[in-house]
Amino acid sequence: MLHIIAKLSACSLIFRTNIHRVYNSRMNITYAKIETQILRIAMTTLGILHISFISENTLKQFIRFGLVGVTNTLISYMIYVAVLWIYKLCGVEYAYDYIVASVTAFILSVLWSYALNSVFVFKKQRSWLTTLSEIAKSYATYGLSGLIIANIILYLLVDVAGISAYISFFMVLIITVPMNFILNKFWTFRQ
């Protein structure tokens, strides 16, 4: 009886491993196709515009940075909205609740962003000390763009221009995303 259970367990393990392998290979193939298509379109566009100072590797990193940024933006926005919602739910009226929401989202989303950028975008081997240094640089980079510049722009959009705090969050990204990529590539993850 134990022999049969051992064989069934081994078969189950092999089956799960193979399913996982097939799923991962399909995901990798699909992602690779998408990345290749985006890269091909971007390189063609740069060629048409006679922009030759951007290398294919930098462009590939920017595309990956953008994909990481999409996940980071979703997480950051969910945290931002959750904090605004908690203020509203608790009946707390605070003139700058959107700033508190932005700072909270910043603190939590920078760790997410660092983790994905270090593994997926700017791949390299790291020591423990290098990792701590890069995390500190990430907070400094995103602190400049994600807290200082983003909150100044948020204030101008929300309080001066009267645009919704929910929409203004996305408008800020037009300036901060390219700034973050440049700072991360050439300072935080300098190779």
How many residues would you count in the chain? 191
What pTM does this model have? 0.61
pLDDT at 66: 84
Mean pLDDT by 10 residues, the chain (191 residues): 42 40 51 75 78 77 84 90 89 78 87 83 75 84 82 92 89 86 83 64
**d(C-alpha 187, C-alpha 190), whole Å:** 5
pLDDT at 33: 76
